[in-house]
Amino acid sequence: MSLLQVENLRVHGPARELVHGISFSVESGERLGLVGESGSGKSLTAMSVVGLLANGLRAEGSVLLDGHQVIGQSDRALVPLRGSVAAVVFQDPRSALDPLMRLGEQLALPIRRRARREGRALDAATLRAEQLRWLDRVSIADPERILRSWPHEVSGGQRQRVAIAMALACGPRLLIADEPTTALDVTTQAEVLDLLDDLARDEGLALLFISHDLPVVARITDRVIVMQHGRAVEEGPVGQVFTRPQDEYTRGLVAAARQLETAVRGMR
């Protein structure tokens, strides 16, 4: 059984259908990229997987997350799946974190939840040790200071590392990352990609990685689905799709990405 099995997923907006029947699966430890431009439906597809569509949007079809149907389930039924099976890292760590809660308290939430789920007692010292361990896991150099800090007191890269630590602390088997490096500086982006790469390998995580940035997707995923106007137009190994695209739309995207790269390469 696949870790994630999506069959004929449709997402309806208030006025019209936004995703028109997409199907794919993600196996344990596999890394799948969803690529497309704004409005392609890639984020809607990813959010449908964890039942996090915004109000006014409705998903239809089948999404099996570790064998459990997500579509049509109540939030209450989905809570145990979120975190234990799939966790999400969003584009903007500034809005994903609670601005009124210290980072240490926020990181404590998934740690406590996981302990409860696993029936483990969690005393203050153990909690502290786990907080520090997760911050170390995402290569944060001064964890003590970060735990005491408010989100606005740390850099964008550090916020995103904390958000990743929170996602991982849930103990998921699938990490859904929605443009996780788009809001970051180039140098920070490279560090966060290295980090996700290491974590996925070390923790045996599957990755559903959503991005408009082809080189970034090439760096981190094995297989890719190209989306346009709510449809999958091409799918295959990332090396193949990005070097020998078959679909006309994909060819245009790849050509544009190469044109930008040529500007830099041509001079080096």
Beta carbons of 169 and 110 less than 8 angstroms apart? yes
Mark the segment that binds another protein (CB under 8 A) among 44-52, 68-76, 91-99, 182-190.
182-190
The reply to whether 213 sits near another protein by the rule CB under 8 A is yes
Can you tell me the distance from the alpha carbon of 256 to that of 191, in angstroms, rounded to the nearest whole number?
25
The reply to whether 92 sits near another protein by the rule CB under 8 A is no
The reply to whether 252 sits near another protein by the rule CB under 8 A is yes
The reply to whether 216 sits near another protein by the rule CB under 8 A is yes
> Tokens representing 242?
């990005």
The reply to whether 187 sits near another protein by the rule CB under 8 A is yes
The reply to whether 160 sits near another protein by the rule CB under 8 A is no
For residues 144 and 194, which CB has a smaller minimum distance to another protein in the complex? 194
Run of H or E residues at 160: helix 156-169
Bridge partners (DSSP) listed for residue 32: 208, 223
The reply to whether 260 sits near another protein by the rule CB under 8 A is yes
The reply to whether 190 sits near another protein by the rule CB under 8 A is yes
Q: How far is CA 154 from CA 81, 140, 159, in A?
A: 30, 11, 6
CA 111, 221, 139 angle in degrees (round to 5)? 40
The reply to whether 60 sits near another protein by the rule CB under 8 A is no
**In whole angstroms, how close is the CB of 155 to another protein at the nearest point?**
9
Pairing of strands 206-211, 68-69: unpaired
Q: Would you tell me which residues interact with another protein (CB under 8 A)? A: 37-38, 156, 185-190, 193, 212-216, 218-219, 238-239, 242-243, 252-254, 256-261, 263-264, 266-268
